[in-house]
Structure 1
Amino acid sequence: MTPYVVDTNVAIAANGRGTHADRRCQLTCVEKLESVVAREIVAIDDGHAILNEYRRHLRPSGMPGVGDMFYKHILNHQYQDDRVRMVEVTPSDDDRRGFDVLPENAFDPSDRKFLAVAVVARAVVLNATDSDWDEHDRLLDALGVEVSQLCPQHASKGRGEHDE
């Protein structure tokens, strides 16, 4: 089973709050996150950089949206390898790389953690609204990273906004 790396913007769009994602995009993100939680594996880093970013944007309690429920799923299953795969990625001393597993790159530094985890876990990246994943297609091809653009109307070159 191929694991997924879920960019934070997917969960934010699924919540439908504080996002520029249209209704179609929000619904697509809701459906994909529900599917991932029900039957897929999510890859995160062992240094908790991804969890820390989720924590800044998502809430696992109260009146959660689907993105928040996804975050709660990750918290509840982070040590169950059949649900959440925690992989080792080492931050690089070279700011042009971000992580040892990555070559020099112009990727948004806040997104490099997702990229590094995708490389190590051989995971598919889920993206909704971040154009970085489209703008750096040659780097992604060279690294063998596949990106599933859930909302291409928001994430294509020149039209997407940079969300974390």
Structure 2
Amino acid sequence: MVDTNIALVANKKQPNASPQCVINCVRELMAIRQGVKKLVIDDNGLVFDEYRRNLSLSGQPGVGDLFVKWVHDYQYNSQRCDRVKITPIPGDDFAEFPQDPQLANFDRSDRKWVAIARVHPQNPPILNAVDSDWKNFEFELNQHGIIVEFVCPDFQFK
């Protein structure tokens, strides 16, 4: 699963990301586009909608934009993309999100990825580059079987 910040870093839209961080994000997106890795999204289109709000569906000018174009073209191809059912509930929450008081302040816009990870049979990791919420709640998420893969180990979270 790819948090939107990966594609934004690949587009060089995150000024605090190092050149190596940009390279790492580009590699992750390319691995998905080339079929080395499979993308996991929701069948409600919430992930795709977030991508579209933050990236250009034309596929230009950056690698992140090329990625969202690829998602548009391949999201229904089961060999390239897994679509899982999650249950939205009012307030940007999901039935599949852990009911844990320690996660009460976790970013509501990122909860969809947690819900997707919890229902996918392989429990795929969530890729993150520079979003501090994933780092701030890493321990609590791990307690619920959620794995966050930090593709920019040199990034200094605040």
Normalised TM-score (structure 2):
0.87
Match of 2:76 among 57, 60, 79: 79
Unaligned runs of 5+ residues in structure 2 are none
Q: How many residues align?
A: 151
Take 1:48 and 1:19, find their aligned partners in 2: how far apart are those partners?
29
Q: Helix, strand or coil for the counterpart of 1:16?
A: coil
Does 2:92 align with 1:91?
no
Match of 1:43 among 40, 43, 49: 40
> By how many angstroms is 1:62 displaced?
5.9
Does 2:28 align with 1:32?
yes
What CA RMSD, in Å, does the superposition of the two structures yield over aligned residues?
1.8
Does 2:21 align with 1:13?
no
Take 2:5 and 2:26, find their aligned partners in 1: how far apart are those partners?
12
Take 1:132 and 1:17, find their aligned partners in 2: how far apart are those partners?
18
Deviations 1:18-72 (A, max 9, x none): 5432212111111121112212111111111111110011113263311111111
Structure-2 residue corresponding to 1:162? none
Q: 1:100 to 1:62 in 2, by over 3 A?
A: closer
Q: Percent same amino acid among aligned pairs?
A: 38
Unaligned runs of 5+ residues in structure 1 are 160-164
Does 2:101 align with 1:100?
no
Structure-2 residue corresponding to 1:154? 155
Q: Helix, strand or coil for the counterpart of 1:107?
A: coil
> By how many angstroms is 1:74 displaced?
0.9
Q: Helix, strand or coil for the counterpart of 1:148?
A: strand
Deviations 1:64-119 (A, max 9, x none): 311111111111111111111111000124x4x81101123321001111111121
Does 2:125 align with 1:129?
no
Q: Helix, strand or coil for the counterpart of 1:28?
A: helix
**Aligned partner letter, 1:99:** F
Alpha carbons 2:60, 2:66 under 8 Å: kept = no
Structure 1 runs of 4+ aligned residues shifted over 6 Å read: none
Structure-2 residue corresponding to 1:55? 52
Q: Helix, strand or coil for the counterpart of 2:126?
A: strand
Normalised TM-score (structure 1):
0.84
**Aligned partner letter, 2:61:** P
